[in-house]
Amino acid sequence: MIPFSFQNDFQNRLDHLEKAGRYRTFRVLDSGSGPIVDLDGRPRLLFASNDYLGLAGHPRMIRDTAAAVEKFGTGMGASRLVAGNHRLHEEVERGLAELKKTAGALLFSSGYLTHIGVVPTLVGPGDLIFSDSLNHASLVDACRLSRAEVVVYPHGDTDFMATRLGRKPPPGGSRILIVTDGVFSMDGDLAPLPEILALAGQYEALVLVDDAHATGVLGPYGEGSTAHWGIDPESLLTMGTFSKALGALGGFVAGPEILMAYLRNQARTLFYSTALPPAVCASVLRALHLLREEPGLLAGLRRNCAYFSNGLRALGLPLPPAGIPIFPIIVGTEAKALHLSRALWDRDICIPAIRPPTVPLNQCRLRISLSAGHTEEQMDTLLAALRELL
Ligand SMILES: *Cc1c(COP(=O)(O)O)cnc(C)c1O
């Protein structure tokens, strides 16, 4: 029996969540990822996965990963600085540096752990962080953990940042970090990186871009934000994850060697968390090769985005920038979002309602995500359901 004070308090909070319609439960998946999944005992059409290129179930990914398990086993058993630095970790880092056109890259066990390790290593008390109001929770938490002063700027508002920087330059010796998602996870829009970098140059700020949704998606070969905008990849620090378009698990940063060397020596989530299993590295290596060898995957994703955009346009709904596979349908209240999500679920279509704290109050939404594997017929099924329900 846990102490009564905890028991009582937690039960009260859970009751509140239940009353507010925010009590969460898990659905159970009993298949691999893909456009059609076995979810809660039935086949459902899934528009909620970030496996944008369908790599999580790609035969070559599976083959290489299985071969690496056979050869190297299932777990690494130590952090990289102790005895867990595998040749495949270094190969993945070289592959990422090549993709991102940076001097180096550094792996972490997840995207979340990347931010938690990186931000507090770059800045600390007395420093200043500018953070976009719609940044991912992992960036928000990392900023808090750094104990630097955090200025949350209105979404994409570089004028606000310029004014704030011009008005009160931080005291001498303190540093400025600007952190932003490259592609915003719940809205699908892009950060104005050229403007942000211009401002950063003017005020000697370092920029950290979260490319979780841009890696494998933006740029000619899925290189990410820097290739998309034509930005010098060594002028900033880019973070990414393997958990989305690359179909695996793990996070990384890529950038100039001085930052890699510093993080390699200082980032706590690198020291105190076990290294990724070699088999995960094998998945990522194959994913990186597929970005080059099978450009048809990214072309297919872009075709699907264009097709689905046309359908949504006919319904009068706002659209993300071309080629971004994230389509938010903002309906307002939680009740509306839940109702719409349930109505789709009743038609065997899975698109969970996104509610606070993930998005602001009264901006509840369905977040539709597409993959290269969706067929036109499957997208038509969703469009027909939306036409009926909206
Ligand atoms: C998913 C996500 C992360 C975290 O990545 P994981 O590898 O899943 O931990 C970070 N930032 C953004 C924008 C994300 O969507």
How large is the C-alpha radius of gyration of the chain? 21
Query: Exposed, middle or buried by CB within 10 Å (0-12, 13-18, 19+), for 272?
Result: exposed
What confidence tens digit (pLDDT) does each residue in 2-16 have?
Answer: 999 999 999 999 999
Ligand 1: which atom is nearest the Cα of residue 241? 7
Tokens of 224: 């990410």
**Which DSSP string do the residues of 218-282 spell out, in sequence order?**
SSTTS--HHHHHT--GGGSEEEEESSSTTSS--EEEEE-HHHHHHHHHH-HHHHSSPPPPHHHHH
Q: What is the pLDDT of residue 361?
A: 87
Q: What residue owns the CA closest to ligand 1's atom 4?
A: 111
- 241 CA distance to ligand 1 centroid (A)? 6
- Name every protein residue with a CB atom under 6 angstroms from any ligand 1 atom: 110-112, 136, 138, 181, 185, 210, 212-213, 241, 243, 251
Q: What is the pLDDT of residue 233?
A: 96
What confidence tens digit (pLDDT) does each residue in 317-369 have?
Answer: 889 999 999 999 999 999 999 999 999 999 999 999 999 888 988 999 999 99
- 250 CA distance to ligand 1 centroid (A)? 9
- In the predicted structure, residue 57 carries a pLDDT above the cut 90: yes
What confidence tens digit (pLDDT) does each residue in 149-177 have?
Answer: 999 999 999 999 999 988 766 667 789 99
To test ligand 1's pocket by mutation, which of 49, 114, 138, 269 has the most ligand atoms within 8 angstroms of CB? 138
Across residues 225-247, what is the average pLDDT?
Answer: 98
Ligand 1: which atom is nearest the Cα of residue 250? 7
Q: What is the pLDDT of residue 169?
A: 67
What confidence tens digit (pLDDT) does each residue in 270-327 have?
Answer: 999 999 999 999 999 999 999 999 999 999 999 999 999 999 999 888 899 999 999 9
- In the predicted structure, residue 184 carries a pLDDT above the cut 70: yes
Residue type, 319: L
Ligand 1: which atom is nearest the Cα of residue 249? 7
Q: What is the mean pLDDT of the chain?
A: 96
